[in-house]
Amino acid sequence: MGRIRVLIVEDSLTVRKRLREAIEEDSAFEVVGEAADGLAAVEKCRTLRPDVVSLDMELPGINGVDVARRVMADCATPILVVSASVNRGEALNTFDALQAGAVEVYDKSQMGSNPGWSADLRALLRQVSRIPVISRAWYGEGGMLKRAAAARDAASGTARVEPARSADAALDTPLRLVAIGASTGGPAAVARILGALPPTFPVPILLVLHVAPLFGGMLVEWLGQQTPLKVTMATEGMAIPTPGAPATVFVAPPERHMIVEAGRLQLTADPEVHCCRPSIDVLFSSIARECGSNVLGCVLTGMGCDGAAGLLAMRRSGARTLVQDEASSVVFGMPREAIALGAAEFVLSPEEIAHALCQYAVARTRRSQSS
């Protein structure tokens, strides 16, 4: 197998040198080029055809978000964002880059505080380089927002879902909550779903998303910009609201498992599950124990198997269960594991998931209110 060919995009000469040295410590890697500004980055990606791009966010000319958009439109290449979580603007841009097609994030501040940072960086570059990516056309300024608005309008109509149970049975019990879990590629997938929900969506949503701990706070702020719903970080003992518009999205905080217990959210520092904390399985399993059939669980794009066993427990307890389809997933690992276990009731795109949430959540609530 040939060496992993890396293009480094970074405006600081000092940081570029450190990145090159760290990457080339391992003979399995080859730095094929460097770019100090955004336009040069796009051109070198097009001509050099690297296996993976290490991408800074703050660049002269066009910033890292625009680089990600152009690369994914013109010469789709796996991108690892190398970003500083301590810079609010850069952290928010990081999530925009993930939405544009970048695969994963490495926190640049680790270069000064973590003795093992170079090995961590290489491990992520190796992981990202193996992920097949597809070209994404960018529809100009506001394009994604316009598509989200169109999907949100459509979400009020009939979802493209064929229920395993009859429609009348699906309306018998009001939906208490929705639980969503995602990992690699998750920010963009979650944004597509939440952005397509109407502002009157009535059911609370619990979200576990695997991101670098230092980006957790910015994730909540960024998601709040993608959806008409309120997005907040979960806190210990927080009561889960009863269904009713407008709903809130509760995000599991970094380094804490989130569980449902006696109608409240509890946070624990218990050991990692599947190398993850928060873990999707931990949340889903608690929901299966506590809530039974009046919930909906969803596993989105991600590497590994977190969420599969928990989703199966939810399905066995009578919940509706959805997973993201392969065509729209950055990594199909977690959805594939859920399907293999028999945990998935439906396999859908993010837009179809939004349709389904409206069909089963909004319709159930209307039935409950009218009875």
Give φ, ψ of 332 to 5 degrees. -90, 10
Q: 96 catalytic, yes or no?
A: no
Q: Which residue in the list 11, 56, 281, 306 is annotated as catalytic?
A: 306
Centroid of chain to Cα 53? 20
Residue 94: strand, helix, or coil:
helix
C-alpha to C-alpha distance for 344 and 298, rounded to whole angstroms: 9
Q: 274 catalytic, yes or no?
A: no
C-alpha to C-alpha distance for 152 and 227, rounded to whole angstroms: 10
CA separation (Å) from 257 to 192, 309, 322? 24, 16, 22
Q: Residue 252: in which H helix or E strand, if any?
A: none
CA separation (Å) from 248 to 101, 239, 277? 27, 12, 22
Are the CB atoms for 76 and 136 separated by under 8 Å? yes
In terms of C-beta distances under 8 Å and separation of at least 24 residues, what long-range contacts does 212-216 make, across chains too?
212/85, 212/105, 212/106, 212/107, 213/254, 213/255, 214/85, 214/86, 214/107, 214/109, 214/254, 215/85, 215/91, 215/94, 215/95, 215/105, 215/107, 216/251, 216/253, 216/254
Q: 118 catalytic, yes or no?
A: no
Q: What is the DSSP letter of 39?
A: H
What the block records as the tokens of 244 is 């009713």
Helix 308-316 with 280-291: angle, nearest 10 deg: 10
Q: Which residue in the list 85, 183, 286, 329 is annotated as catalytic?
A: 183
Q: Which residue in the list 54, 83, 210, 328 is annotated as catalytic?
A: 210
C-alpha to C-alpha distance for 151 and 80, rounded to whole angstroms: 29
Count CA atoms within 13 Å of residue 31 on its CB side.
18
Q: Which residues are catalytic?
A: 183, 210, 306
